[in-house]
Chain A
Amino acid sequence: MPLPVVYNVESVRARWRTSVVAVLGIAGAVGVFVAMLALAKGFRAALVESGSAMNAIVRRAGATSEIDSAVTLTQQKVIEDALEVAHGPSGPLVSHEAVVIAAVPLRETGTDANVQVRGVTEKARLVHENVALREGRWPEPGLFELVVGKNAAASYRGVGIGDTLKLGGAGWKVVGVMDAGDTAFDSEIWCDLSLLNPVYHRPQGVAQSVVARLRSPEALEPFRQRLVGDPRMKVQVDRETDYYAKASQMMTTLVNVLGTLVAAVMGVGAVFAALNTMYSAVAERRREVATIKALGFGGSSIVLSFTLEALVISLLGGLLGCALVLPINGLTTSTMNFQTFSHLAFAFQVTPALLGIGLVFALLMGIAGGVPPALRAARMPVTVALRDL
C-alpha cells in the first residue's frame, strides 16, 4: 500500500532549510546543462538554417569549405544547363559565389575579427530565399557597394549605411542592411562578385561555390550523378543544409563535450547534496518511519515514498534551473567558427525539447540521490527506532 504523496510534499516544506541546498544544487546543474545545449543548438541552427533543402552547393572535389574551393566558368555553365535546376524569370536559378575573409574591428573590443565577404550576383537573392532587405537598398551591379547582414551591422565598427569600408585596397560604400533570419548570412557582408575577384587578385569568372536551386528536393541525387559523371567536372555536390550542418560540426562538438563535462561534474556535486539532504531527512525521521512501519506499511512503500520525496526535490530543482535559463533564449552571442575561419553571431535556442532533457537530468539526479537513503529508511529496525520515543 503506498503512502500518500502529500506526506512527502509536506516533509519537503517542513525541512525547507536542508531541501533548499539540494534544490539549488540540482537547479545549478540543470541550468548549466540546458544553457550549454542551447548554445550548441543555436550555433548549429544559425548555420543549418542558412541552407535550404531545395538547394545544392557545388564545390571543387576535396575542398573542406568555400574558402578553399574553386569552380571554373566551364563548370558553371554545365551546372546551369543541368535538367534538375529550377528556372526563374531570368533563367536558371544558379548563384555563383566567392568568399573572402576581411579583417573588420569588433565594436566591443576594437580588435579585428574575420568577417566573411561574399561576392554574389543578383541571382543570390532568388536562390537564398531566407535573405531579405531590411534597410537601405541592394548594391547596384558594377558599383563598389555593400550590403551588410544585420548581426554584422551590430557587431562591427564602420559598417553602418553610408560608411565606406576598405576591402582589398578598394573603398566600398555600405548601402543596405539585410535580414537573413538569424542565419550565418546575417554575419556576412555581400558585394558584387565581378568586382570582388579583381580586387583580391583572382582570375575573373572563377567562383568558389555554385548554389543551384533544384526543381525538387529529390532532384539532388540525379543532379549529383550528372555532375560527378561529367569528365569536365571535378566537383563535389552537397545538399546545402548538409554542407552547413558539417560546417558547424567542430564547434558543436566542442560545446557539447565541454557542456556535458561541466554538467556531469556539477551533477555529481548535486547528487552529493541531494544524498546529504535525504540522509539527514531519514535520520531526523527515525521515529516517523518506525511509526509508519508499526502502522503496517511495508518496506517497499517506504522506499517508494522516500524516493518520491527526492523526486519532488529534484523536480523543483529542475524547474528552477529551467526557469533560470529561459531568459537566455534568443540572446545573441558570437564566436569564431574555425571550419570557415570566420566570426559568426548566433542566438541561444532554449527549446522545449532541451527543457525536457534538463528535467530528465534533474529526475535522474533525484533517483541517484534519493534511493540509497530510502533503502536505509526501509531497513531501519522498528523496535530500535521506537525506543527513542
Chain B
Amino acid sequence: MKYLPLLLGNFRRHRVRVALTLGSFAVALFLFCVLIAIRGAFNQGVEAAGADRILVVNKVSLIQPLPLAYRDRVARVPGVKDLTFAHWFGGVYQDEKNFFPQFAVDHTTWRQMYTEFRVPEEQWRALAADKAGAVVGKVTAERFGWKVGDRIPIKGAIYPGDWEFNLVGIYEGTRPQDDLSQFWFRWDYWAEKVEPDIKGYVGWYVVRVDKGHDAVTVVKTIDSAFANSPFETRTQSEAAFMASFVEQMGNIGFLMTAIGAVVFFTLILVTGNTMAMSVRERTGELAVLKTVGFRDGAVLALVLVESCLLALLGGALGIALAKAFTMSGDPTGGLFPVFFVPGWAMGLGVAVTLAVGLLAGLLPALGARRLRVIDALRTL
C-alpha cells in the first residue's frame, strides 16, 4: 500500500497515454461483450431449448399445419409425458416494423410445458376465463407500454381481419436467455374466428419425453405412426429444431463473431504492445529504484501491479459500458429476442485483460531485471 503514491504518480505523469490505454482496453472489452451478446441473440433458441422437449412439425415444411386429430395419437405414444400445441399467428400490431412472435396456444397445457416462464396464478386463471385473453412477455409489454387490462388490436396477415385481445397477464423468465417477446392467446379463440376449413389444424405439437424413455425412440415412433399419411410429420428435439434456424441464418452470425474476434485480439495486442513500450522506456527509472535499494522482486511486482491495474481498470470500464448498453435495450428495435452479456463472458473478459496486463508488464520487466544497473544508468 505504501507504494500507492508511486503508482498514482506514474499514472499522473503520462495522463494522455494512460487515458488512451485505459480507453483502448475499454473499447476492446466493450466490443467483446457486445459481440457475445449478439451471438447469444442469434443462438437464443438453441440456448433456451428444453432438454426433454421435442417438436412435431409437418414434414413438408413448417408453414404447413397438422391435424388436431393427431393430438390423441401422439399422446398415446409410450414415453410422451406432456403434450401441447400451438399455431403461428403472424399478425401486425400497428405497423409491420413492430414485429413480435404471436402464438395461438392451448392454454390448458401450455404452462406445464414451458415451466421456465412464470405467470402469476390469477393471471393464468383470467386467461382460462376470457376467450379473447392474451398473455405477453415482459419485454414486449414494456416495448409498447402495455398493462394488464389493455385491449390489444392486431391486424391479421395470415388470418385476415381485425383481431382484438384482452391483455390478462404478463410472463417473466427464469433464465437470462428466455425469450420475453412472445404473445400468447387461446387456440380455441383462433379456431372460432378463422374459416371453417382450417379450424381443425394446429401449427405444431410440443412433447415432453418422460424420464427413463429414450427420446430417439419416441421421435421414431411418432414419425412412423404418420408415415404415408397426407400429413407426414418431422419430429426432432427442440434444440435441433432451433439449430436449423441458426444454420439458415448461417454466415451472418459467423461473420460478425469472426470479425469481432480478429478485431478484439488485434486491439488487445496493440494495447499490450503500447503498455510494454512504456515500461521499456522507463528502464532507466527502474535502475534508479534498484540503486536506492529496491530488490528485484519488489521492482518486478511494482511494474506488474501497475500494468495489471491499468488493464483491469480499462477492462472493467468496457464491461460496465457493455452491460449498460445491453440493458438499455435491443439496438435493432425488436429483431433480437434477447440481448444480454452472460456472466461467463464478463469473467472471461476480466481474465483476458488480466493476462494481457501481466504479459505486457512481465516481458519488459524481466528484461529490465537482467540489465545491470550500471548499464541502465548510463543511458540516463
Contacts and interface: CB of A to CB of B under 8 A. Distances in A.
Interface in A236-261: 246, 249-250, 253-255, 257-258, 261
B363 interface: no
Interface stretch (A49-57, A85-93, A146-154, A333-341): A333-341
Interface string B249-264: 1111001100110110
B157 A276 contact: no
Interface string B218-237: 00000000000010101000
B312 to A, nearest CB: 18
Given A62-B156, A333-B250, A334-B251, A269 B24 contact: yes
Contacts, number: 144
A250 B244 contact: no
Interface string B17-34: 100100110011011001
B60 A269 contact: no
B139 interface: no
Contacts of A265: 27, 30-31, 34
> For the side of the interface on B, what is the size category?
35 or more
B335 interface: yes
A261 to B, nearest CB: 6
B313 to A, nearest CB: 15
Contacts of A343: 248
A102 B23 contact: no
Contacts of A65: 157
Interface in A18-72: 21, 24-25, 28, 32, 35, 39, 60-65, 67-68
Nearest to A253: B332
A211 interface: no
Interface stretch (A4-12, A106-114, A135-143, A294-302): A106-114
Interface string A95-127: 000001111001001011110000000000000
A227 interface: no
Contacts of B94: none
Given A28-B266, A68-B90, A333-B250, A101 B63 contact: yes
> For the side of the interface on A, what is the size category?
35 or more
A152 to B, nearest CB: 14
B252 A25 contact: no
Contacts of B156: 62
Interface string B91-116: 01000110100000000000000000
B29 to A, nearest CB: 10
Given A111-B243, A269-B27, A25 B270 contact: yes
B332 A258 contact: yes
A279 interface: yes
A17 B35 CA distance: 30
A68 B250 contact: no
Contacts of A61: 160
A144 interface: no
A106 B259 CA distance: 24
Contacts of A246: 96
B155 A62 contact: yes
B16 interface: yes
Contacts of A100: 60-61, 63-64
B123 interface: no
Given A265-B27, A276-B274, A103 B234 contact: yes
Most chain-A Cβ atoms within 10 A of its Cβ — which of B96, B250, B256?
B250
B158 interface: yes
A65 B99 CA distance: 14
B181 to A, nearest CB: 13
B296 to A, nearest CB: 29
Given A64-B96, A257-B332, A272 B248 contact: no
Contacts of A161: none
Given A273-B24, A333-B250, A262 B267 contact: no
Contacts of A114: 61-62, 248
A106 B247 contact: yes
B259 A167 contact: no
Contacts of B251: 333-335
Nearest to A343: B248
B63 A67 contact: yes
25 contacts: A32-B263, A65-B157, A68-B157, A68-B158, A100-B61, A103-B234, A112-B244, A113-B244, A114-B62, A169-B60, A250-B335, A253-B333, A254-B252, A265-B27, A266-B263, A269-B28, A269-B31, A269-B267, A273-B270, A276-B17, A333-B251, A334-B251, A335-B248, A335-B252, A336-B249
Please list the 8 inter-chain residue pairs (A to B) with the smallest Cβ-Cβ separation, ordered nearest first: A336-B248, A68-B158, A269-B27, A101-B61, A64-B157, A111-B247, A333-B251, A265-B31
Interface of B: 16-17, 20, 23-24, 27-28, 30-31, 34-35, 38, 59-64, 90, 92, 96-97, 99, 155-158, 160, 230, 232, 234, 243-245, 247-252, 255-256, 259-260, 262-263, 266-267, 270, 273-274, 331-333, 335
